[in-house]
Amino acid sequence: MTEVITSYNPSESQVLRISKSSFGTYNKCPRLYYWNYIVKLSPPPNDAMVRGSMIHQVLENSLLSEADMTVADVALKMGETDLGIDALDELMIEIYDKYPDWELVEAEYKHEIPDTVEYEDEDGNTHSYDVLLVGKIDGVFKDKEGRLIIVELKTGELGSSKVSRTRKELNFYRYMLDKAGYNVEDCRYMVIAPDATNTDVALKLQSSKGKEVLWGTTSGVAYVEKYNKRSYNLGTLKIGKTAHFINLEEWPMIWSEYYCPEWCEYHLGCEQEMLV
Ligand code: SF4
């Protein structure tokens, strides 16, 4: 494999880095990927992003604490106060109570895993690409049967579209761990959403087969689900397809005739181009 350098530069034979975010972004809108990863126009972090990073840091410090500090202990030490942290603290206590046998395998470990992905085009030709799978997973636990539980922390409200987007992200992580040599057979996904207040979504999850839901007292839910083989296979097939179209430098907009269904921060530029 050639040396890994950048998120994108096929013309210089460098290896494409694929993270869950870049993969998700290309599949949401190739033009958005172009702005974020090629032109690197990423807007400065907003308040929600700063808060999200802080809450992730609190969880990471708590998971990795050798002194077994709770989320509340860590937040106190960091001088952070936030209702989401209170809810996260409650949820983590519930999780440790409900699953006392879970052992932490890793938290926020920086993976960089070489892989070769394939895409079969419409004419039946197979294209192969060397890529580097990159990412830091919020947490990975192992239960007493040796099954992995891949954890994703989500701040903000938990709507049904976020549930399905998060499942795709966790599929990406399962694929990455598989390529890293972990035993991911029969693994579980855990989503921790301390800000969630949408009880309809949580109740729907609770009534679904194979899912367990934990409720915070004021806000927040966490749920565990088995990975779904069909959705996993469909999602991971797209990694090869994504590498193929990035390599072809294809950045179409997802604009319909009159509007963009995603309407991201670059809509003014896209709108102008649509009007030309
Ligand atoms: S406005 Fe729409 S089409 Fe343009 S980059 Fe954003 S998501 Fe893509």
pLDDT on residue 45: 86
Interval between CA 194 and ligand 1 midpoint (Å): 29
Interval between CA 264 and ligand 1 midpoint (Å): 5
Q: How far is it, in rounded angstroms, from Cα 240 to Cα 196? A: 34
Nearest CA to ligand 1 atom 3: 253
pLDDT on residue 275: 73
Nearest CA to ligand 1 atom 5: 32
pLDDT on residue 13: 54
Nearest CA to ligand 1 atom 6: 264
pLDDT on residue 269: 85
pTM of the model: 0.91
Nearest CA to ligand 1 atom 1: 267
* pLDDT tens-digit map of 101-115: 999 999 989 999 999
**Cα separation values, 181 from 23, 176, 185, 238, Å:** 21, 9, 11, 21
pLDDT (tens, 9 = 90+) of the chain, 276 residues, equals 333 334 555 445 578 999 999 999 999 999 999 999 888 887 788 999 999 999 999 999 999 998 889 999 999 999 999 999 999 999 999 999 999 999 999 998 999 999 999 999 999 999 999 999 999 999 999 999 999 999 999 999 999 999 999 999 999 999 999 999 999 999 999 999 999 999 999 999 999 988 999 999 888 999 999 999 999 998 888 999 999 999 999 999 998 878 898 889 898 888 888 776
Go through the domains of the chain in sequence order and give each one's CATH number: 16-275 (3.90.320)
pLDDT on residue 1: 39
Query: Cα 112 to the chain's mean position, in Å?
Result: 15
pLDDT on residue 218: 81
Interval between CA 269 and ligand 1 midpoint (Å): 9
Residue 149's DSSP bridge partners are 141, 188
DSSP secondary structure string for all residues of 94-162:
HHHHH-TT-EEEESS-EEEEEEEEEEE-TTS-EEEEEEEEEEE-SEEEE-TTS-EEEEEE--S---HHH
